Amino acid sequence: MVSNWIPDLGSGSQHRYRALAEAIRDAIQADVLKPGDKLPPHREMAWKLGVTTATVARAYNIAAEWGLVFSRIGHGTRVRERGDVREPITLREGNERGTLIDFGLLLPTPLQDHALRRQAFENVFARIGRNILDRSLSGYAPDLGYRSHREAGADWLEFLSVESDARDVVVTRGAQEAILLLLSTFTQPGDPVLLEDPTYLGLSHLLRLRKHQIIPLQLDAEGLPPQAIERKVAMSSAKLLFLTPNLQNPTGVTLSTERRRAIGQIAQRHDLLIIENDPFSALVEKDARSSAIASMAPERTFYLASLSKCTGPAMRVCFMRCPPARSQGLEGVKHALTLGGAFLQAEIAGEWIRTGLLDRLCTWQRDAIGRRWSLARSIMGDRLGEKLLPAPFVFLHLPEPWRASEFVSVARQSSVICIEADRFTVGRAGAPQAIRLALSTPATEGEVQRGLEIVAGLMSTYSPSGVTRY
């Protein structure tokens, strides 16, 4: 049954799409919208609210991310049953039409039937499986990780040119757990946190969940300006700074050595702790890597080297290098959060490091990304910044008069999924009219080329089909 529900957006969030998403949530919680109810079609909702269809589409997408509704082609958008588990995002498998090219969620390039895949997974699984039973049944893993895993993590960090001692390495289930651990240890809900704007989506969601005061730091063409940090830390009294100096997501910018050194000096002067998130360092050619901030300000910096972006999304492992003597202070908090350390995935990662397989996986991934980046450069030309290093994604500024929300909607109609810059924006300043394309996510280079050609064609014309202005 199609609901005739139309909300009043006179109050709520600043952005209309957010206000509509929140109205859907509130109506479901109040039983105004019931399980199975079908929301009005995009055009009808847009006409009655006086907004664009792109605004409605984005609101419905947010409600789906919250697990409140689900959509299927030809069936519309419906309210989920209570207790229903959110459907997983299906990637790299045939969809109902078999035509979508997904540049949305950022995933590593798939190994498919490559021989390296069999070595990294099938052979390793068989090898560690013979020795894992006793350890897995003997109790919870140590909160900071098994000694052997911490030693393997220290070896990997040394490979990335970050000097490490196993005693200062903490093993977590991905960078998200490491960030939550640090926020829980060094801040209280509501405390100010400094971060890049635009920024990593997982971080902004976590900060909002904990009701932190988000202090956005605007990026320029070279990344995060140190003077912006100095100004904001003095005004806010923030004690924690989050940044991604290599291939910043979503902009792709890499910080210069000079800026890294200046940021480390600011942290010293203002008693500031730094979370240096570095999921892409292993995907950068060694001679192109800049020194980590952790190497310049080791006593102020927590360095996060996670594996999922360079190996596979299921490898939720992060090796966190802590300032000397800081790791033990995390143990009690980590126990309260997780009741034990990472084990099975850390065991796999440790085996990969000891046998050299992790280096080979990252090299394969780096080469695959390099080919896809070359495709993007040949198709997009000057739209890609000249100083950018090859990355698993590109950040494209749209020509006038395109608006990012309209472009994403029209691209979807052309069977291409991409994400608008506004999704990554945390401050009040207007988001650039730009999109991010995850080059590494499509299954084949042929899909990447077709998708980029579609995007380039849309950028060269302005035809927002189905988008009505009011």
**Domains in the chain: ranges and CATH:** 16-87 (1.10.10.10), 115-355 (3.40.640.10), 359-460 (3.90.1150.10)
CA-CA-CA-CA torsion sign (49, 79, 436, 319): positive
**Pair type for strands 434-438 and 393-397:** antiparallel
Q: What ranges in 68-195 are assigned the alpha helix state H?
A: 115-117, 124-137, 147-159, 174-186
Contact 417, 82 (CB under 8 A): no
276 vs 241: CA distance, rounded Å? 8
Q: Could you give the C-alpha distances from 157 to 31, 195, 292, 309, 361, in angstroms and in order?
A: 51, 24, 11, 16, 16
Residue 94 has a pLDDT of 43
The 3-state DSSP class for residue 37 equals coil
407 vs 464: CA distance, rounded Å? 7
70 vs 87: CA distance, rounded Å? 8
Residue 466 has a pLDDT of 43
pLDDT values of the chain reduced to their tens digit, one per residue, 470 residues: 556 788 888 755 457 888 898 889 888 888 899 888 999 988 899 898 888 888 888 888 888 777 788 776 567 888 887 654 443 344 444 444 457 899 999 999 987 767 887 788 777 777 776 666 555 556 688 999 999 999 999 999 999 999 999 999 999 999 999 999 999 999 999 999 999 999 988 898 899 889 999 999 999 989 999 999 999 998 998 999 999 999 999 999 999 999 999 999 999 999 999 999 999 999 999 888 999 999 999 999 999 999 999 998 889 999 999 998 788 889 999 999 998 888 889 999 999 999 999 999 999 999 999 999 999 999 999 888 878 899 999 999 999 999 888 899 889 889 999 999 988 988 777 778 999 999 999 999 999 999 999 999 999 987 655 443 33
**Sequence-ordered list of residues with C-beta below 8 angstroms from that of 250, at least 6 positions apart, any chain:** 198, 393, 395, 419, 421, 424, 436
Q: Could you give the C-alpha distances from 195 to 13, 243, 358, 369, in angstroms and in order?
A: 22, 6, 30, 27
51 vs 467: CA distance, rounded Å? 10
Residue 90 has a pLDDT of 42
Does the pTM surpass 0.85? The reply is no
Residue 289 exposed, middle or buried by CB count within 10 Å (0-12, 13-18, 19+): middle
Q: What single-letter DSSP state applies at residue 313?
A: T
Q: Which two tokens stand for residue 308?
A: 């999922």
Contact 225, 253 (CB under 8 A): no
Contact 338, 352 (CB under 8 A): no
Contact 149, 350 (CB under 8 A): yes
